[in-house]
Amino acid sequence: MVLNGLLKEKRAVLVERWREALFESYPLETRQFFRKEKDRFQNPVAHRLSRGIEGLYGALLQETEEEELKGYLDEIIRVKAVQDFSPSQALAFIFLLKGLIREELAAELCDEELGRQCLEFESHIDGLALLGFEVYMQCREKLSEIRIDEVKRRVSGLLRKAGLGMELE
């Protein structure tokens, strides 16, 4: 596949541009911190986001199994789900890759066969977004479960202190 070769050739540029596009979804001060602090322990969020972007890009080029894709998506989407991004905000970064590829390969995409391959690749990106929505919903469900469990613990503690001794399940 000719497109695959071009995408591998442009990997560093596209991954960096995709990472920057992802960082753009954050406030200015946060973006500046993400770009400035390179230590993964001082800046774990940017590290996770970067690792997820790099993994996703490589996985898309290799047409990786669904579970591996979910793992890379989870790196990014878990962070966004915890930060209360809406589903559309949390997943918008996936669709940005299409535009970045079109911009980076604008001259080459004049070729009809390459253009067809690009549309096919974009279908894989759309599939990735659907998978990403699944991951987002799983993360939000888990957060809800954690919150519910915390409320149950608090209420149970209050009941014990009040001498009612009832346990919530």
Q: What is the CA radius of gyration of the chain?
A: 21
* pLDDT per residue of the chain (169 residues) written in tens, 0 to 9: 699 999 999 999 999 999 999 999 999 999 999 999 888 899 999 999 999 999 999 999 997 889 999 999 999 999 999 887 899 999 999 999 999 999 999 988 888 999 999 999 999 999 999 999 999 999 999 988 998 989 988 888 888 888 776 555 5
Overall pTM surpassing 0.85 (yes/no): no
* 94 class by beta-carbon count within 10 Å (0-12 exposed, 13-18 middle, 19+ buried): buried
Can you list the domains of the chain with their CATH numbers? Answer: 2-140 (1.10.490)
